[in-house]
Chains A and B, each alone.
Chain A
Amino acid sequence: MAFPTLQPTGRSFDPGDYPIKSFRAQSGAETRILYGSQRTNMSLELNYENITDSNAGLFVTHFDEVQGTYQTFSVPSAVRSGWSGTSSTLDVTGANAWRYAEPPQITAVRPGVSSVRVKLIGVL
Chain B
Amino acid sequence: MTPKLVWSRMFSYGRQQGVKLLFVVGEQGVAEGIPPDGIDPPPALQGIFLGNGALDAIYDETFAFYWKRNTTLVKPRIKAENLVYGTRGTLAAGDPEIYDDIFSCPTAISENDTGFSAAHSLSNNAEFGCYSPIANGSHYRVNWRVISMPRNIGVEEDPGLNLSFERIKIAGQATLTNNQLASGFDVFATMLRTGMDGTGRNYSRRMGITALNGVGVSDSTGIEERFVSVGDVATFTIARNQIPENFYKGTDREVSVQDINDATTEERIAADDALQIGELFMIGRTTWQVISRSRAMWRAEDNADQVIQLKCIDINSPAVNKIGLVSNYMLRQNYINDNNTPDKYNAGAAFYPLLKVAKATVRNTRPCEVTEIGIRSNVFQRLNGICNFQNIPSPAQLENLDQRRVQVASGTNSSYIKRASVFTIFLRPAGVDASGNEYDWQPLGEQFCIVGNQPIEQYNYIRLEHPDQKQYEYQFIPKNGADLGRNTPDSAEFWQLMHGGSLDNNAERQVLSASYQTIYGTFKVSSVGQLVTKLDVQQNSEFRSLPSYLDRTTTNDRPTSVGITTLLPDQEGTQTRISSSEFVSWYTDPVFEYTEGRNGTFTWELTKRTGVGSADNFPGNDGTSVITEYQHTVSNNRWYKVRYRLVKTALTDHFSTQSFVWTIAEENIIESSSNWDTLGEYIITFSVDNNNPFRQPRSSPAITNIGQRRRVSGVITSDFVQGRSQGFYEELFGPARNYNVGTNRSATVDITDDGKNIRLIFSSTVYYDPNHWSGAKNLWQAPTIAISDNPTYVSNNWQVGDTFDYLVTVSAANPFRTPGTQVGAKFIVEARGVTITQNYTYPGRTFEFQSQYADISLYGNLVEKSNANNPEHTVVYVNEITSNPTKPEYTSMTIAGLALKASRNFTALDQVRFWLKNGIPVKRFHPDEASEVKPSNLFCDLVYYMLTDRVAGAGDLLNMSVNSAPLINTGDFITTAKFLKSNKLFFDGAIASTVNIRQFIADTAPFMLCNFAISDGKFSLVPALPTTVGGDISTDPVMIKQLFTAGNIFEDSFELNYISAEERKDFQAVVRFREERENQLPQERNIVVRWNEGDSTEYPLESFDMTQYCTSRAHAELVARFFLSIRRQVTHSIQFKTSPYGIDLAPGDYIRVVTEANPYSSAQNGSISGSGIITSATTFTDGQYPILYYKSGSEDVTEALMNVSGGVVQESELYNSVFTVVNSTISQNVYQVEQLTLDADGVVQINATEFPCDDRLISVIAQDVTNSARFLVDS
B1047 (CB) vs chain A CBs: closest residue: A27
- With a cutoff of 8 Å between Cβ atoms, the chain A residues found around residue B1050 in the complex are 23-26, 31
Residue B1054 interfacial (CB < 8 Å): yes
Q: Which B residues, 1041 to 1082, have Cβ-Cβ distances below 8 Å to chain A? A: 1045-1051, 1054
Among B1046, B1048, B1054, B1242, the residue within 8 A (CB) of A35 is B1242
Residue A1 interfacial (CB < 8 Å): no
Q: How large is the interface on A (under 10, 10 to 19, 20 to 34, 35 or more residues)?
A: 10 to 19
Determine if A33 and B1047 form an interchain contact, defined as CB atoms under 8 angstroms apart: no
Q: How far is the CB of A73 from chain B (nearest CB, A)?
A: 27
User: What is the bound-complex CA distance between A23 and B1244, given in angstroms?
Assistant: 12
Residue B837 interfacial (CB < 8 Å): no
Determine if A26 and B1141 form an interchain contact, defined as CB atoms under 8 angstroms apart: no
Q: Which B residues, 1180 to 1200, have Cβ-Cβ distances below 8 Å to chain A? A: none
Among B1045, B1046, B1047, B1139, the residue within 8 A (CB) of A23 is B1139
- With a cutoff of 8 Å between Cβ atoms, the chain B residues found around residue A110 in the complex are none
Q: How far is the CB of A27 from chain B (nearest CB, A)?
A: 4
- With a cutoff of 8 Å between Cβ atoms, the chain A residues found around residue B1241 in the complex are 21, 23, 33
Residue B751 interfacial (CB < 8 Å): no
Q: How far is the CB of B1228 from chain A (nearest CB, A)?
A: 15
Determine if A26 and B1051 form an interchain contact, defined as CB atoms under 8 angstroms apart: yes
Q: How far is the CB of A105 from chain B (nearest CB, A)?
A: 36
A26 in contact with B1243 given A31-B1139, A31-B1141 (CB within 8 Å): no
User: What is the bound-complex CA distance between A25 and B1050, given in angstroms?
Assistant: 4
B1048 (CB) vs chain A CBs: closest residue: A25
Determine if B1049 and A25 form an interchain contact, defined as CB atoms under 8 angstroms apart: yes
Q: How far is the CB of A25 from chain B (nearest CB, A)?
A: 5
User: What is the bound-complex CA distance between A29 and B1141, given in angstroms?
Assistant: 14
User: What is the bound-complex CA distance between A101 and B1242, given in angstroms?
Assistant: 29
Q: How far is the CB of B1043 from chain A (nearest CB, A)?
A: 13
Q: How far is the CB of B1096 from chain A (nearest CB, A)?
A: 41
User: What is the bound-complex CA distance between A23 and B849, given in angstroms?
Assistant: 110
Determine if B1051 and A33 form an interchain contact, defined as CB atoms under 8 angstroms apart: no
A33 in contact with B1242 given A23-B1139, A25-B1051, A26-B1051 (CB within 8 Å): yes
A26 (CB) vs chain B CBs: closest residue: B1046
Which among A23, A24, A35 has the greatest number of chain B C-beta atoms within 10 A?
A: A23
- With a cutoff of 8 Å between Cβ atoms, the chain B residues found around residue A29 in the complex are 1047-1048
- With a cutoff of 8 Å between Cβ atoms, the chain A residues found around residue B1137 in the complex are 23
Residue B51 interfacial (CB < 8 Å): no
User: What is the bound-complex CA distance between A27 and B1049, given in angstroms?
Assistant: 8
Residue B1140 interfacial (CB < 8 Å): yes
- With a cutoff of 8 Å between Cβ atoms, the chain B residues found around residue A25 in the complex are 1046-1051
A26 in contact with B1139 given A33-B1242, A33-B1243 (CB within 8 Å): no
- With a cutoff of 8 Å between Cβ atoms, the chain A residues found around residue B1242 in the complex are 21, 33, 35
A33 (CB) vs chain B CBs: closest residue: B1242
Q: Which B residues, 562 to 579, have Cβ-Cβ distances below 8 Å to chain A? A: none
User: What is the bound-complex CA distance between A47 and B1242, given in angstroms?
Assistant: 40
- With a cutoff of 8 Å between Cβ atoms, the chain A residues found around residue B1047 in the complex are 25-27, 29
Interface size on B, residues (CB 8 A): 15
Q: Scoring A residues 16 to 40 as 1 if CB is less than 8 Å from chain B, else 0, what string do you get?
A: 0000010111110101010100000
User: What is the bound-complex CA distance between A43 and B577, given in angstroms?
Assistant: 69
Determine if A27 and B1243 form an interchain contact, defined as CB atoms under 8 angstroms apart: no
User: What is the bound-complex CA distance between A24 and B1141, given in angstroms?
Assistant: 14
Determine if B1046 and A33 form an interchain contact, defined as CB atoms under 8 angstroms apart: no
- With a cutoff of 8 Å between Cβ atoms, the chain B residues found around residue A23 in the complex are 1050, 1137, 1139, 1241, 1243
- With a cutoff of 8 Å between Cβ atoms, the chain A residues found around residue B1049 in the complex are 25-26
- With a cutoff of 8 Å between Cβ atoms, the chain B residues found around residue A26 in the complex are 1046-1047, 1049-1051, 1054
User: What is the bound-complex CA distance between A23 and B1054, given in angstroms?
Assistant: 14
User: What is the bound-complex CA distance between A23 and B1052, given in angstroms?
Assistant: 10
User: What is the bound-complex CA distance between A21 and B1243, given in angstroms?
Assistant: 10
Q: How far is the CB of A33 from chain B (nearest CB, A)?
A: 5
User: What is the bound-complex CA distance between A51 and B1141, given in angstroms?
Assistant: 55
Q: Classify the secondary structure of A's interface with B.
A: strand
User: What is the bound-complex CA distance between A31 and B1051, given in angstroms?
Assistant: 11
Q: Which B residues, 898 to 933, have Cβ-Cβ distances below 8 Å to chain A? A: none
Q: How far is the CB of A29 from chain B (nearest CB, A)?
A: 5
Q: Which B residues, 1124 to 1155, have Cβ-Cβ distances below 8 Å to chain A? A: 1137, 1139-1141
Q: How far is the CB of B758 from chain A (nearest CB, A)?
A: 86
- With a cutoff of 8 Å between Cβ atoms, the chain B residues found around residue A21 in the complex are 1241-1242
Q: How far is the CB of B1042 from chain A (nearest CB, A)?
A: 15
B1242 (CB) vs chain A CBs: closest residue: A33
Q: Scoring B residues 1010 to 1043 as 1 if CB is less than 8 Å from chain A, else 0, what string do you get?
A: 0000000000000000000000000000000000
User: What is the bound-complex CA distance between A27 and B1050, given in angstroms?
Assistant: 9
Q: How far is the CB of A21 from chain B (nearest CB, A)?
A: 6
User: What is the bound-complex CA distance between A33 and B1139, given in angstroms?
Assistant: 8
Which among A21, A24, A26, A33 has the greatest number of chain B C-beta atoms within 10 A?
A: A26
Q: How far is the CB of A24 from chain B (nearest CB, A)?
A: 5
B1155 (CB) vs chain A CBs: closest residue: A26
A31 (CB) vs chain B CBs: closest residue: B1139
User: What is the bound-complex CA distance between A35 and B1239, given in angstroms?
Assistant: 13
- With a cutoff of 8 Å between Cβ atoms, the chain A residues found around residue B1243 in the complex are 23, 33
User: What is the bound-complex CA distance between A31 and B1047, given in angstroms?
Assistant: 10
Q: Scoring B residues 464 to 494 as 1 if CB is less than 8 Å from chain A, else 0, what string do you get?
A: 0000000000000000000000000000000
User: What is the bound-complex CA distance between A60 and B1139, given in angstroms?
Assistant: 47
Which among A21, A24, A25, A29 has the greatest number of chain B C-beta atoms within 10 A?
A: A25
User: What is the bound-complex CA distance between A27 and B1138, given in angstroms?
Assistant: 12
User: What is the bound-complex CA distance between A35 and B1140, given in angstroms?
Assistant: 12
Q: How far is the CB of A57 from chain B (nearest CB, A)?
A: 43
Q: Scoring A residues 62 to 92 as 1 if CB is less than 8 Å from chain B, else 0, what string do you get?
A: 0000000000000000000000000000000
B1139 (CB) vs chain A CBs: closest residue: A31
Q: How far is the CB of B254 from chain A (nearest CB, A)?
A: 123
- With a cutoff of 8 Å between Cβ atoms, the chain B residues found around residue A33 in the complex are 1139-1140, 1241-1243
User: What is the bound-complex CA distance between A33 and B1048, given in angstroms?
Assistant: 14
- With a cutoff of 8 Å between Cβ atoms, the chain A residues found around residue B1141 in the complex are 31
User: What is the bound-complex CA distance between A23 and B1242, given in angstroms?
Assistant: 11
B1054 (CB) vs chain A CBs: closest residue: A26
User: What is the bound-complex CA distance between A33 and B1137, given in angstroms?
Assistant: 14
- With a cutoff of 8 Å between Cβ atoms, the chain B residues found around residue A31 in the complex are 1048, 1050, 1139, 1141
- With a cutoff of 8 Å between Cβ atoms, the chain A residues found around residue B1046 in the complex are 25-27
Q: Scoring B residues 1198 to 1229 as 1 if CB is less than 8 Å from chain A, else 0, what string do you get?
A: 00000000000000000000000000000000
User: What is the bound-complex CA distance between A2 and B1054, given in angstroms?
Assistant: 54
Which among A21, A24, A29 has the greatest number of chain B C-beta atoms within 10 A?
A: A29
- With a cutoff of 8 Å between Cβ atoms, the chain A residues found around residue B1054 in the complex are 26
Q: How far is the CB of A58 from chain B (nearest CB, A)?
A: 40
User: What is the bound-complex CA distance between A36 and B1150, given in angstroms?
Assistant: 32
A32 (CB) vs chain B CBs: closest residue: B1139
Determine if A27 and B1139 form an interchain contact, defined as CB atoms under 8 angstroms apart: no
A24 in contact with B1051 given A33-B1242, A33-B1243, A35-B1242 (CB within 8 Å): yes
A34 (CB) vs chain B CBs: closest residue: B1242
Q: How far is the CB of A54 from chain B (nearest CB, A)?
A: 46
- With a cutoff of 8 Å between Cβ atoms, the chain B residues found around residue A27 in the complex are 1045-1047
- With a cutoff of 8 Å between Cβ atoms, the chain A residues found around residue B1048 in the complex are 25, 29, 31
User: What is the bound-complex CA distance between A21 and B1047, given in angstroms?
Assistant: 17
- With a cutoff of 8 Å between Cβ atoms, the chain A residues found around residue B1139 in the complex are 23, 31, 33
User: What is the bound-complex CA distance between A110 and B20, given in angstroms?
Assistant: 106
Q: What are 8 of the A-B contact pairs (CB < 8 Å)?
A: A24-B1050, A25-B1050, A25-B1051, A26-B1047, A26-B1054, A27-B1045, A33-B1140, A35-B1242
Residue numbers of B with Cβ under 8 A of A are 1045-1051, 1054, 1137, 1139-1141, 1241-1243
User: Top 7 nearest A-B pairs by Cβ distance?
Assistant: A26-B1046, A27-B1046, A31-B1139, A27-B1047, A26-B1051, A23-B1050, A24-B1051
Given contacts A25-B1049, A33-B1140, A33-B1241, 14 further A-B contacts (CB under 8 A): A21-B1242, A23-B1050, A23-B1139, A24-B1051, A25-B1047, A26-B1047, A26-B1049, A26-B1050, A27-B1046, A27-B1047, A29-B1047, A29-B1048, A31-B1139, A35-B1242
